[in-house]
Amino acid sequence: MSRSRRLKLQVFRVIVFLVFGAFFLVPIGAMFEFSTRGNTDTAPRTLSAWQTIFQTPDLVAAILASLALAVITSAGMLVLLVPTMIWVRLRLPRLNRVVEFLCLLPLTIPAIVLVAGLAPEYRWLSINVSESILTLAFVYLVLVLPYTYRTLHAGLAAIDVKTLSEAARSLGAGWATVMGRIIVPNMWSALLNAALLSVAVVLGEFTIANLLNYVNLQVAIALLGRANAGVSIAVAVASLMFAFILLVILSFFGRPRARVAQLEADTTLSWGQKT
């Protein structure tokens, strides 16, 4: 590649980066600006809306509930989907299409239809089992399936699951060991991505919680917005920042092993010769 072409490519990259950066950051910046406005046009900037977040018990409860739902949904999704997908891939490949169809189905059903179907179940749940908002985890588990299925599917497709599991089995490993020690460690980034998508979906979910009369983070923000727009916008910015920080943390999570491996390659390849 010529020097001028490389330079043009570099400039193009920077422009794309700046445009998309502005696309994401300008609205967030505007929201932050709005949340720090004083009561009048001439009033100085204030963080009172942000401080109010922690002084509003209902809001704190909603944040904690949403975080708990995010954790439960992510964990439940991984426990349900990972062994199922590995098992189907290894032992029941003819069911692959069926599982894919079932997992993608929620994407095609509008939330209002989902709620109409689920309302009687939740009525029964609230009377006979629990009224806790955490029961929303059941429906959220269904809701995140389309996103997490695709991610996990890509992670599994990247490794030779059949050969690795057969090799481990021939060495004396049981199925639990095959999954826990051979397959899962080789699809870490897919698991993390799936978990992140679950967290993002749960933290951003409004319709189902609202229609089923539960107050999660988004419902609390909406309710608060009617009384105090500044606080609701501050919470919205905070939740966006939380998701962003989580994304950054998770994206760095899978890197150390690759870096160590590369480091070892750099040191050993200097004297070792491949055959």
Q: Which is nearer to other proteins, 34 or 175 (CB)?
A: 175
Q: Is 95 among the residues that bind other proteins (CB under 8 A)?
A: no
Q: What is the C-alpha to C-alpha distance for residues 143 and 138, in angstroms, rounded to an integer?
A: 9
Nearest approach in angstroms of CB 173 to other proteins is 5
Q: Is 58 among the residues that bind other proteins (CB under 8 A)?
A: no
Place of tokens 């977040």: 53
Nearest approach in angstroms of CB 174 to other proteins is 6
Interacting stretch for other proteins, rule CB under 8 A, among 16-24, 61-69, 207-215, 266-274?
Answer: 266-274
Q: Is 255 among the residues that bind other proteins (CB under 8 A)?
A: no
Q: 184-213 mask for other proteins (x: CB under 8 A)?
A: -xx---------------------------
What part of residues 152-181 is at the interface with other proteins (CB under 8 A)? 159-160, 163-164, 166-174, 177
Q: Which is nearer to other proteins, 4 or 275 (CB)?
A: 275
Q: What is the C-alpha to C-alpha distance for residues 150 and 111, in angstroms, rounded to an integer?
A: 20
Residue 232 burial class via C-beta count within 10 angstroms: exposed 0-12, middle 13-18, buried 19 and up: buried
Q: Is 256 among the residues that bind other proteins (CB under 8 A)?
A: no
